[in-house]
Amino acid sequence: MHVIKKIKFVDAASRYPNYSAQIMDLYQVLNRLNFTSPDDMRKVYKSLDNFKYKDKFYVLDIAGNNIRLIAYISFSGQRFYAKHIVSHAEYDKLCKRYAKGEL
């Protein structure tokens, strides 16, 4: 897949140094592999789930659910756009803002 915004991964790796290796490993794998569907991606990333507040947005757990990635994924276009890479607590706050329509 073509990962848009590598800087999101780099920034998250510096913001969460304890998980930087897992964050950058995820970037490398996503950039190297092609996934044809969510089910295909779940074969590699079992935590992949729909983000219920936005169509075609998905959530991935990183580092044993300590970090969450929210991304827009176009499987037909092979594009992966990382929107947010945050801690689990920050993810909960983002969900509340999405639920209110603020984001």
SS (H, E, C) 58-101: EEEEECCCCEEEEEEEECCCCEEEEEEEEEHHHHHHHHHHHHCC
For residue 11, what pLDDT is reported?
98
For residue 62, what pLDDT is reported?
97
Q: Which helix (H) or strand (E) holds 3?
A: strand 2-4
Q: What number does CATH give the domain 2-99? A: 3.30.2310
For residue 90, what pLDDT is reported?
98
| Residues present in the chain in total | 103
Successive 10-residue mean pLDDT values, the chain, 103 residues: 96 98 98 97 97 97 96 98 98 97 94
* 56 contacts 49 by C-beta, under 8 angstroms: no
For residue 36, what pLDDT is reported?
97
Residue 8 DSSP symbol: H
For the full predicted model, state whether its pTM sits above 0.85: yes
